[in-house]
Amino acid sequence: MLTRTVSYTLIAVVLLLLLFLSPTSSFAQTDATTYTVQPGDTLLLIAERFDVPVDLLARINHIDNPDLIQVGQTLVIPGPEAVDLAQRQEQFREHLSTWLPSVSTAVAGAQVTLYGAFGYGELGGMTRIASQLFVRQQGLPMPFLSVRVPKTLIQGRTGVVQVISMVPIVPTGTFQDRPLVFLGEHNPEAWMYRYQAFVPTGALDQPGVKPLQIKVGSVVYEAPVEILAGTYETQHIVLPPSKGGLLEPEKLQEERARLYAIWSKVTAPPRWTQPFRFPVEGDIPRTSPYGTRRSYNGGPVSSFHAGSDWGAPEGTPILAPAPGVVVLAEPLFVRGGAVIVDHGAGVYSNFWHMSQIDVQVGDEVQTGDLLGLVGTTGLSTGAHLHWEIRVDGIAVDPMQWTSSKLP
Ligand SMILES: [Zn+2]
């Protein structure tokens, strides 16, 4: 047992050396040569001549069928160093699958476990050897390598949870009884799998510390997230009698149900790579920020302003804040002229009260493309831009999305 621990430590040291001495990131050039296939050659004969395992030779040269090599074909022949590393890579694959730690140590005061892995591949026409170190936070249950959870979230803000694993997993999770939707990404160079989920909070979410749960099979990881109160005001809205009819509960309900059906769909992956742009040009004053608590015609505060309102004049062009696909483009009873853009990953931009709609369902839009014009249709008391962002169905503050790139 002691010998095994020592050998893992040694391997980890070798990995560290490789990692820091490599000329290009974690890649190091090997002692490979080439050989031109001669009449009478077989892959096995060539492998024996150069003292290289035949399966390694086949893999490096992308040969699926070892009986199908051709005279004149050029083969890459790995030297002793590459063969040695490839064999250790095989060992490491076993180690990875059985989750054997290389060495346990302290990094920046936190106790972590280091795992090592070798790989080889083609880069710039050369066969190169890659090494990779994994750092695992201690105390995390298998198979989590690292988990990042926001410690605090202000009401209305969108947080991001990140899970990293050395093997493919299917994480699920919940926060405030809402499911977390994880999207995955495999980085073959880093040999790891990264999963991210948004943690959207609404302006009326109760402040306090709440558990965020992540599950992989029967393994559960739980971390506390504190919701902090935002600074949202209360607005008393009086609607003219002509628009009072729009408050009919069944009509509100019907429209809501339709919109929630749209917002509940998660079409992976995210289509944006930058912070969102502001949807109108020029210096436009904000007339009602996101999150304002609302009471209509003296009623109780039961809702909040789901979007951000800007006093743009009637007819101002509304531009797509990020790439996406138009999933709704029609007049709605309560929200008036409406356009919804699906940005992927469960994130939707919504524009209401428009005077004109210039897109159709199914249109692919790029950042800055014209969606339509500002108006005052539906439940509205004057021309304005209403921009609303829904993440997994929750209305979040759009301004966070223009100032930072999420996730
Ligand atoms: Zn609004």
CATH of the domain at 153: 2.60.40.10
Q: What is the Å distance from ligand 1's center to 175 Cα?
A: 27
Q: What is the Å distance from ligand 1's center to 378 Cα?
A: 11
Q: Are residues 180 and 211 in the same domain?
A: yes
Q: What is the Å distance from ligand 1's center to 309 Cα?
A: 5
The predicted-structure confidence for 220-263, as pLDDT tens digits, reads as follows 889 999 999 999 998 887 777 665 555 677 888 999 999 999 99
Contact status, residue 243 vs residue 379, Cβ threshold 8 Å: yes
Contact status, residue 102 vs residue 87, Cβ threshold 8 Å: no
The predicted-structure confidence for 361-380, as pLDDT tens digits, reads as follows 999 999 999 999 999 999 88
Q: What is the Å distance from ligand 1's center to 304 Cα?
A: 10
Q: Is the pLDDT of residue 305 over 50?
A: yes
Q: Are residues 318 and 212 in the same domain?
A: no
Average pLDDT score over residue span 385-401: 96
Q: Which two tokens stand for residue 275?
A: 């912070």
Structural domain ending residue among the three candidates 177, 202, 228: 228
Residue ranges in 1-79 assigned as alpha helix (H)? 2-21, 43-50, 54-60
Q: Are residues 129 and 154 in the same domain?
A: no
Structural domain ending residue among the three candidates 181, 203, 228: 228
Contact status, residue 251 vs residue 333, Cβ threshold 8 Å: yes
Q: Are residues 151 and 265 in the same domain?
A: no
State residue 336's pLDDT score: 96
Q: Are residues 130 and 177 in the same domain?
A: no
What is the distance between the alpha carbons of residues 342 and 350, in angstroms, rounded to a whole number?
9
Average model confidence (pLDDT) across the chain: 81
Rg (CA), the chain: 29
Contact status, residue 22 vs residue 30, Cβ threshold 8 Å: no
Burial letters 66-99, b for 16+ CB under 10 A, else e: beebeeeeebbbbeeebbebbebbeebeebbeee
Q: Is the pLDDT of residue 61 over 90?
A: no
Structural domain ending residue among the three candidates 97, 122, 137: 137
State residue 366's pLDDT score: 97
From residue 189, give the alpha-carbon distance in Å to each of 130, 169, 359, 375: 8, 18, 40, 50
Q: What is the Å distance from ligand 1's center to 284 Cα?
A: 14
Q: Is the pLDDT of residue 269 over 60?
A: yes
Which residues crowd ion ligand 1, with CB under 5 Å?
307, 309, 386
Query: Could you say which DSSP state residue 128 is in?
Result: E
Q: What is the Å distance from ligand 1's center to 377 Cα?
A: 12
- Model confidence at 115, pLDDT cuts 50, 70, 90, reads low
Here the CATH number for the domain that contains residue 345 is 2.70.70.10
CA atoms within 13 A on the CB side of 50: 27
From residue 57, give the alpha-carbon distance in Å to each of 38, 47, 53, 60, 262: 16, 7, 6, 5, 52
Q: Are residues 247 and 393 in the same domain?
A: yes
Here the CATH number for the domain that contains residue 41 is 3.10.350.10
Overall number of domains in the chain: 3
Q: What is the Å distance from ligand 1's center to 307 Cα?
A: 5
Amino acid at position 19, single letter? L
Q: Are residues 190 and 264 in the same domain?
A: no
Task: Give the percent of the chain with pLDDT over 90.
Answer: 46
Q: What is the Å distance from ligand 1's center to 31 Cα?
A: 65
Residue found by looking up tokens 């605090």 in the block: 152
Q: Which helix (H) or strand (E) holds 87?
A: helix 80-98
Q: What is the Å distance from ligand 1's center to 292 Cα?
A: 10
**Containing structural domain, residue 349:** 234-403
Q: What is the Å distance from ligand 1's center to 251 Cα?
A: 18
Q: What is the Å distance from ligand 1's center to 148 Cα?
A: 33
Q: What is the Å distance from ligand 1's center to 337 Cα?
A: 13
Q: Are residues 382 and 259 in the same domain?
A: yes
Q: Are residues 7 and 128 in the same domain?
A: yes
Q: What is the Å distance from ligand 1's center to 226 Cα?
A: 28
What is the distance between the alpha carbons of residues 186 and 375, in angstroms, rounded to a whole number?
44
Residue ranges in 215-266 assigned as alpha helix (H)? 241-244, 249-263
Average pLDDT score over residue span 167-180: 90
State residue 108's pLDDT score: 52
Q: What is the Å distance from ligand 1's center to 288 Cα?
A: 7
Q: Are residues 384 and 296 in the same domain?
A: yes
Q: Are residues 343 and 282 in the same domain?
A: yes
**Cα 260–287–201 angle (5° rounding)?**
40
Q: Are residues 130 and 267 in the same domain?
A: no
What is the distance between the alpha carbons of residues 346 and 233, in angstroms, rounded to a whole number?
28
Q: What is the Å distance from ligand 1's center to 321 Cα?
A: 17
CB atoms within 10 A of CB 296: 18
Question: Pick the residue with more confidence: 224 or 135?
Answer: 224
Has this prediction a pTM greater than 0.75?
Answer: no
